[in-house]
Chain A
Amino acid sequence: MPLSWLLASVVLLGASGYVAGRRRALAGVGGKCWLLHSLPHYYGANVAIFTIVPALMVLAVWLLVQPLVLERQVAPMITGAAFQDADARSLAMTDMRRVARGLDVAVRQGALTKEQARSNQTEFTDIRARLGRAGVAPGGAVTPEVLRAAQRYRRLEATGSILMTAAVLGLAALGLAYACFTRTRREFRARNAVERAVLALLILASAIAILTTVGIVLSMLFETFNFFELYPWHAFFFGLEWRPRFEGGSELGLLPLLWGTLYISFIALLVAVPIGLFAAIYMAEYAGHRLRAVAKPLIEILAGIPTVVYGLFALVTVGPILRDYFAEPLGLGSSSSSVMTAGIVMGLMLIPFVSSLSDDIINAVPQSLRDGSYGLGATQSETIKQVILPAALPGIVGAVLLAASRAIGETMIVVLGAGAGAALSLNPFEAMTTVTVKIVGQLTGDTDFSSPEALVAFALGLTLFVITLGLNVLALYIVRKYREQYE
Chain B
Amino acid sequence: MTDATAARPTPSLLAQDNRTRHRNRAEVRFRAFGMAAMGTGVLALAVLLASVVSNGLGAFRQTFITFPVVLSQERLDPDGHRDPAAMARVTTFGYAPLIGRAFADHVAALGIETGLGPRAMAAMLSEEAPGQLRTAVLANPQLVGETITLDVLASGRIDGYFKGRVTLESAERDRNVSPEQLRLAETLAQAGVLTTRFNQNFITAPDASGQRPEAAGLGVAILGSFYMMLVVLVLTLPIGVAASIYLEEFAPKNRFTDLIEVNISNLAAVPSIVFGILGLAIFINFAGLPQSAPIVGGLVLTLMTLPTIIIATRASLRAVPPSIRSAALGLGASRMQSVFHHVLPLAAPGILTGTIIGLAQALGETAPLLLVGMVAFVREYPAPLPAGLFDPASALPVQVYNWTQRSDPAFVERASGAIIVLLVVLIFMNALAVLLRRRFERRW
Contacts and interface: CB of A to CB of B under 8 A. Distances in A.
Interface stretch (A15-23, A50-58, A305-313, A363-371): A305-313
A457 B277 contact: yes
A206 B274 contact: no
A440 B370 contact: yes
Nearest to A473: B266
B277 A439 contact: yes
A348 B277 contact: no
In this complex, the interface size class of chain B, counting residues with CB under 8 Å from chain A, is 35 or more
In this complex, the interface size class of chain A, counting residues with CB under 8 Å from chain B, is 35 or more
Contact of A411 (B41, B273, B334): B273
Listed residue (B44, B247, B274) with the most chain A CB atoms within 10 angstroms of its CB: B274
A168 interface: no
Interface stretch (A171-179, A215-223, A244-252, A324-332): A215-223
A394 interface: no
B73 interface: no
A440 B280 CA distance: 12
B317 interface: no
A381 B45 contact: no
B24 interface: yes
B334 to A, nearest CB: 6
Given A279-B34, A286-B31, A307 B307 contact: no
Contact of A195 (B27, B29, B31, B334): B334
Given A305-B48, A440-B367, A216 B271 contact: no
A202 B260 CA distance: 13
B22 to A, nearest CB: 11
B269 A402 contact: yes
Listed residue (A206, A215, A220) with the most chain B CB atoms within 10 angstroms of its CB: A206
B163 to A, nearest CB: 15
A281 interface: yes
Contacts of B69: none
Contacts of A302: 41, 44-45, 48
Interface string B219-254: 000000000000000000011101101110011000
Contact of B336 (A198, A219, A277, A310): A198
A306 B366 contact: yes
B397 A308 contact: yes
Contacts of B246: 199, 202-203, 205-206
A436 B368 CA distance: 11
B38 A202 contact: no
Interface stretch (B94-102, B153-161, B164-172, B419-427): B419-427
Contact of B280 (A352, A443, A468): A443
Given A205-B246, A219-B277, A443-B371, 16 more contacts: A215-B282, A219-B281, A279-B38, A281-B34, A304-B426, A310-B48, A312-B52, A316-B412, A348-B44, A381-B31, A382-B27, A405-B269, A411-B273, A412-B401, A468-B271, A469-B270
25 contacts: A206-B246, A206-B251, A275-B41, A286-B34, A295-B41, A302-B45, A304-B360, A305-B423, A305-B426, A306-B422, A307-B366, A309-B419, A311-B404, A351-B40, A379-B24, A381-B27, A381-B31, A409-B273, A416-B401, A439-B276, A443-B371, A449-B285, A465-B274, A472-B269, A476-B265
Interface of A: 191, 195, 198-199, 201-210, 212-213, 215-216, 219-220, 222-223, 274-279, 281-283, 285-287, 295, 298-299, 301-302, 304-313, 315-317, 348, 351-352, 355, 379-382, 384-385, 402, 405-406, 408-412, 415-416, 436, 439-440, 443-444, 449, 457-458, 461, 464-465, 468-469, 472-473, 476
